[in-house]
Amino acid sequence: MKLPRRRFLHLAAGAAALPAVSRIAKAETYPSRPVRIMVGLPAGYATDIIARLTGQWLSERLGQQFVVENRPGAAGNIATEAVVRAPPDGYTLLQINSGNAVNATLYANLNFNFIHDIAPVASTCRTPFVMVVNPSIPAKTIPEFIAYAKANPGKINMASPGVGSTNHIFGALFATLTSIEIVHVPYRASFMPDLLAGQIQMVFSAIPLVIEHIRTGKLRALAVTIASQLEVLPGIPALAESVPGYDASGWQGIGAPRSTPTEIIDKLNREINAGLADSTIKQRLLEQGGLPIAMTPADFSKLIAGETEKWANVIQTAGIRVE
């Protein structure tokens, strides 16, 4: 049977519109079942806590459970690869952080390309670090510490959770910019007992881990890693005040498999940004040392690309390698 031309054109136009209608319908009904947020670190770490805070907010807003699933190992690469391989339907998300940007350069044989294979959904916060020393170090300011380190090359031990960790990279940037020699000591377990005992003399740390020890005088804070001072650590200067050009902070956000529908990404972005504007969520992030930062997916993508390039340069200059 031959269709009249007008009828044919009407049907053709309808068929062409089906994919767009389907995508919009998926976004309107999403989520229709529980969503997983994969975390590449153990429960209790700041990344895990922030993922759970985000998941709780999304569960309340969207009427489905956003369940955090911890898959620690290989500096977060196990969880990342699991999300890369997941269907791009919005039901498997990844809690991404600055470690992902570091890993892109640090690991030469990954089975994925983080920037290419993970679609940025929404940022949640920046996480400034603080440089602390055991009181056995006589320095009370950054200039004094630099002078002490140059007078005692190779005698200051710096702890971190592992080679290529954010703590390690932030310390490597400091050493590079100041031309000092410090000894990196990676830990599989907590470094806090050795730091408090003075066997390790310094660390670049997330603020919640050390703030009580700073307040009680068991550790001495010398500077925060972002370019301005923080309310949570009054009177502690920014490193950039003594080391021009130093600016470092962790960051957190949500990613999804590449090819996840734009409509779903945009919906999640709107809801997460609404959470960042909520006074309760903002306060809870601040308690974790996080500075809320709302972005579009495009702006978050630019941040990730810039951070990946920045830390690639530090890794290459410092000669950092994973054994």
Tens of pLDDT, residues 224-260: 999 888 988 999 999 999 999 999 999 999 999 999 9
Q: Is the pLDDT of residue 295 over 80?
A: yes
229 or 271, higher pLDDT: 271
pLDDT at 161: 86
Q: Is the pLDDT of residue 315 over 80?
A: yes
Q: What is the mean pLDDT of residues 89-98?
A: 97
Boundary (domain end) residue, out of 190, 217, 241: 241
At 209, the pLDDT band (50, 70, 90 cuts) reads confident
Boundary (domain end) residue, out of 214, 241, 268: 241
Does residue 17 lie in a domain region? no
Predicted TM-score (pTM) of this structure: 0.83
Same domain membership, residue 237 and residue 148? yes
Structure-token match 């140059």, residue found: 150
Same domain membership, residue 215 and residue 138? yes
Same domain membership, residue 171 and residue 102? no
Report which residue type is found at 81. E
**CA 207 – CA 201 distance, rounded (Å):** 17
pLDDT at 289: 81
Same domain membership, residue 255 and residue 117? yes
Domain of 157, in residue numbers: 128-241
Total tally of structural domains belonging to the chain: 2
pLDDT at 316: 93
Does residue 21 lie in a domain region? no
Q: Is the pLDDT of residue 121 over 90?
A: yes
**CA 224 – CA 211 distance, rounded (Å):** 12
Instruction: Say if CB 263 and CB 242 are below 8 A apart.
Output: no
At 38, the pLDDT band (50, 70, 90 cuts) reads very high
pLDDT at 162: 86
Does residue 1 lie in a domain region? no
Same domain membership, residue 66 and residue 119? yes
The CATH code of the domain that includes 108 is 3.40.190.150
Q: Is the pLDDT of residue 43 over 90?
A: no
At 21, the pLDDT band (50, 70, 90 cuts) reads very low
Same domain membership, residue 119 and residue 253? yes
Residue 255: CB atoms within 10 A of its CB come to 29
Same domain membership, residue 268 and residue 237? no
Q: Is the pLDDT of residue 22 over 80?
A: no
Q: Is the pLDDT of residue 11 over 60?
A: no
**CA 101 – CA 114 distance, rounded (Å):** 8
Does residue 279 lie in a domain region? yes
Does residue 20 lie in a domain region? no
Phi, psi angles (nearest 5°) of residue 67: -100, 130
Judged by phi (left if over 0) then psi (alpha if -120 to 50, else beta), residue 190 lies in beta
Does residue 145 lie in a domain region? yes
pLDDT at 8: 41
The CATH code of the domain that includes 132 is 3.40.190.10
Q: Is the pLDDT of residue 210 over 60?
A: yes
Same domain membership, residue 269 and residue 121? yes
CA atoms within 13 A on the CB side of 74: 13
Tens of pLDDT, residues 144-182: 999 999 999 999 999 998 898 899 999 999 999 999 999
Does residue 138 lie in a domain region? yes
pLDDT at 24: 54
Same domain membership, residue 216 and residue 203? yes
Please state, rounded to an integer, the average pLDDT across all residues of the chain: 91
Same domain membership, residue 261 and residue 113? yes
Does residue 92 lie in a domain region? yes
Boundary (domain end) residue, out of 179, 212, 241: 241
Same domain membership, residue 226 and residue 275? no
Q: What is the mean pLDDT of residues 9-26?
A: 50
Q: Is the pLDDT of residue 9 over 50?
A: no
Q: Is the pLDDT of residue 262 over 90?
A: yes
At 323, the pLDDT band (50, 70, 90 cuts) reads low
Q: Is the pLDDT of residue 187 over 70?
A: yes
Same domain membership, residue 104 and residue 31? yes
